[in-house]
Structure 1
């Protein structure tokens, strides 16, 4: 039997090439009957690399995505657009205007709040000061580098009074001054992702002044009135290379700063078979079938993440939403999906995000048709709600002649019937119909944001309205 690959000679030389008989007392055993042949070894190596490469992608994508995004979010353009929340490392960045179609940093951005971002490298504890917002809705999410939402600060979780919260890095054992609220985190870099509610059409000057009252500084500099943040940046990730395996290189680099959680050590140990370990990623010793399996895994990995909507999402009346965004557990596909197009998504107690891309007949929503949504009443929330349309292709807001990017509880002139019901018209062509929400001309999807949803939403008693085609 000729050996096509030198790396097979050792394996085949030591293999016992025999065919075992099928079990006489049970079902046939495929492994007992499988010869240790060149073909089976080649196919097995590819299958093993594919399976483990697929798991590595779905498990590790959030970490790679966060490392990439944090480098993007700390690169501040000049001039900085009003919708940008970017800021240098260890500093707070605020958007000073609501997102529009030109705001490209964040896919599926809302048009309800001013966004805040801060990438923090915790070489010591950092103190986040939040001002009194006088019951105005705000929230600051504290994400680990695995896109795990570890803490909430804001109206629902901590109230709207002023406070000082300390981001405590892993392994720190010092003493905090009294009056500070410790928030322990699991990674040495964290992402603060905030939202500050804006009423449609309100004067933004007071909000800009309120934004300036949020501050972030090292614990050692808390009482230093002359503190100026030093200029720092994150080292670049490894280049992707031209062999199609760049994702694994970047994952290995990210793992050196973000150790594997104890609960994932068993899974991570399997990746050593294709060269990924705590020491890095070494593809030099991989056989060609292994490399091919890894490349196929990177092609199919995004599909596995997207498939999480079928297994982890609630589906009611054509709307779909995921729960558990602040407690993924071992649902790695859902975590990967959220880390991608829905980076920064919150748990259902804070906000719920029902979305849909089809009408009542199951057809793709398209600007080629007109639709209506009949609400029996305003969605039951303790903060506010909004309905937004996005381009299906780029997940961005939609340009339109009246610069209306959402309808919601704060929309001026929203026409509501005497019984509290109202109808929303969706179409691309301009219309005088009440409550028109412009859509793109092509495929689109909708998100109904429910901030601080009440129990009637969470337990399913509130019936989400259908999207009906206008005849």
Structure 2
């Protein structure tokens, strides 16, 4: 008998012991049963181990990516550069970080950043409840989203949901049994660390100094220090993520470390239990018993997992006049591919009642948008919204804003000099070089290479949510 590796000898032995009761099955079948006739050969077992690891690895990646992403984000966004750029919203743990200027192509923290609002970020470790105080913004649009560590949006604080009057909102960690003082609004969260992600509206050309003063009135303190105006958060550094290795499986190490701090939700326990077949459990990730086929399957899964996430734009979003129109960004349920995609390049996306984000990367003929062509978008009317709208172009490669000679990074509600017809319609030239003609003032600069667009609709009206508003078509100019 030829020598075989231990993992293969064990597999073959198990197959032989179990083959006696099924080897002579002789009953009529409507369809051929491949399993009943599958030889327990070395080749089939190796192929099966690889396929099982690949399938399980894909599921683990899609399910676990948001948690890994958030663990990375909590460290990135609490690592404050010195000097700190005005566009940066990074802040130490348990402190509020405000951007002092709108995003530009030089701002690399956030992919697909908007050019409409000043961003707020805060990573909060809830060793006790924390009180977020918001000032009166006098009807100015703002929102603070409360995300758990699975990049699931659990609460909105802002103009649409809570109004713009001053208020105090308490982030309550799981298991806390205390009683809150009167006058505070309780917001229970499902993980002990949360990410606050906020936006404060800026009108084009507006003086930012009054907004900086308004930002300073937002405060974050532990409940026990709520009335201590001199309170200063302690300097805390989050522990490092697992060190990198050269086996290509580091994602699963990061996921295992994250799970120790963020227990698997009850609804996902059965799914998570499947991952033990390739060494991922609540105790950690142990690849020491993996066979070569299993390792190969996991490495391949990590290469293909991002493609599965990206494909959710097709499976989870409807197509409206050529635009990908995804809903449910605050209610993923078990749509793990969409959750993974949003937590990656669209981190911090909101539900459709707060904002819609129709996305477009092709023209009316289905061809990739590229700066070597000229395009025109025809709006029959401005998007109907209760807050504001904007259209922004991004480089396809890095998902960043496009550098251009007129420093225009978006077109929208407050664009000065926007040319509009008497019937409310208007055209937008979309190209890399300066256009000519009637609507040259509406030029939205594009990069020289591939790009995509996002049409942001803040507090969209019913006709948008119901699909009655016709999104603009994108026509290539021949």
TM-score range, shorter chain: over 0.9
Partner of 1:212: 216
Equivalent residue, structure 2, for 1:24? 28
In structure 2, C-alpha distance between the alignment counterparts of 1:28 and 1:61, rounded to whole Å: 38
Which consecutive segments of 4 or more residues in structure 1 shift more than 6 A? none
SS of equivalent to 1:54: helix
2:369 to 365, 374, 398: 365
- Structure 1 position 467 matched with structure 2 position 474: yes
Partners of 1:20 and 1:32 within 8 A in 2: no
Look up the match of 1:454.
461
| Equivalent residue, structure 2, for 1:4 | 4
Q: Does structure 2 conserve the Cα–Cα contact (< 8 Å) formed by 1:372 and 1:470?
A: yes
* Aligned: 1:337 with 2:341: yes
The answer to whether the Cα contact below 8 Å between 2:374 and 2:430 also exists between their aligned partners in 1 is: yes
Q: 2:138 aligns with which of 134, 146, 157?
A: 134
Q: Decide which of 147, 151, 166 is 1:147's aligned counterpart.
A: 151
- From 349, 361, 369, the equivalent of 2:353 is 349
Query: Residue 22 of structure 1 contacts residue 28 of structure 1 at CA under 8 Å; is this kept in 2?
Result: no
Aligned to 2:168, the other structure's residue is in SS state: strand
Deviation larger for 24-33 or 294-303:
24-33
Within a 5 Å distance, the mapping from 1:54-73 to structure 2 comes to 54-73=58-77
Superposed counterparts of 1:253-264, under 5 Å: 253-264=257-268
CA contact (8 A) 1:379 1:450 kept: yes
1:365-444 matches, cutoff 5 A = 365-432=369-436, 433-444=440-451
Structure 1 partner of 2:78:
74
Output the TM-score relative to the length of structure 2: 0.97
Query: Which of 214, 222, 225 does residue 226 from structure 2 map onto?
Result: 222
- Residue deviations 1:77-96 (CA, integer Å, cap 9, x gap): 00000000000000000000
Is there any run of 5+ residues in structure 2 with no aligned partner, and where?
none
Measured in 1, the distance between the counterparts of 2:229 and 2:413 equals 41
Please give the secondary structure, in 2, of the residue aligned with 1:307: helix
How far apart in 2 are the matches of 1:152 and 1:437?
Answer: 31
Name whichever of 176-185 and 13-22 sits farther off. Answer: 13-22
Question: What is the CA distance between 1:451 and its match in structure 2?
Answer: 0.3
Secondary structure, aligned partner of 1:292: helix
Q: Could you tell me how far apart the structure 2 residues matched to 1:13 and 1:199 are?
A: 72
Q: Which residue of 2 aligns with 1:281?
A: 285
Bigger drift between 154-163 and 42-51 goes to 42-51
Q: What is the CA distance between 1:419 and its match in structure 2? A: 1.4
Residue 301 of structure 2 is matched in structure 1 by 297
Q: How far apart, CA to CA, are the structure 1 residues paired with 2:349 and 2:357?
A: 9
Question: How many Å separate the matches in 2 of 1:399 and 1:289?
Answer: 46
Q: Deviations over 1:2-53 (max 9, x none)?
A: 3432222233234326754564243222111112222221111111111111
Aligned partners of 2:370 and 2:31: how far apart in 1? 52
The alpha carbon displacement at 1:147 in A equals 0.3
Q: Structure 1 residue 458: deviation in Å?
A: 0.7
- Preserved CA contact (<8 Å) 1:23 1:29: no
Distance, in Å, in 2 between the alignment partners of 1:11 and 1:369 is 58
RMSD, aligned CA:
1.1
| Aligned residues of 2:98 and 2:118 also touching (Cα < 8 A) | yes
**8 Å contact kept, 2:417–2:441:** no
Contact 2:323 2:359 in 1 (8 A): yes
